[in-house]
Amino acid sequence: MFQDVSLSGHAMHRSVQRNISDEDIEFIIQNGDRLHRTGVIFCQLRERNIPDDTPGNHRGWKLVGTTVVLCKCGLYVVTLYREERAFHRDSRKAKYNLRPESTSCPCCGAYAS
């Protein structure tokens, strides 16, 4: 995968479910809005985040509304989801509750129990 970003088992499962490829995740991480919260970074792709020179048939347009949740180190995808309104709700939520299946970040060790 690009740079040194890796996916949790949960994120990998989700990406297969949602038919989101590594390239799609890369696109979201590179272009999406970033929101820092306790221990994680929410990265959501919005229509205005898509570069002007992106062709109309580019996959990126289909990814609008998709959120990638990164570890605070930015190198580990905790989970991802598609929900247009999630960003707004999340932005008011002080803390992100990790799912039990989340594993510790291989990059910075966050979430280790």
Q: Under the rule (CB under 5 A), what is the footprint of Zn ion?
A: 71, 73, 76, 105, 107-108, 110
Task: Please report the DSSP string for 67-93 in residue order.
Answer: EEEEETTSSEEEEEEE-TTHHHHHHH-
Least distance between Zn ion and beta carbon 69 (Å): 12
Is 49 or 103 the residue whose CB approaches Zn ion more closely? 103
Question: What is the edge-to-edge ordering of all strands in the sheet holding 76-82?
Answer: 6-7, 76-82, 66-71, 40-44, 33-37
Least distance between Zn ion and beta carbon 8 (Å): 10
Is 86 or 107 the residue whose CB approaches Zn ion more closely? 107
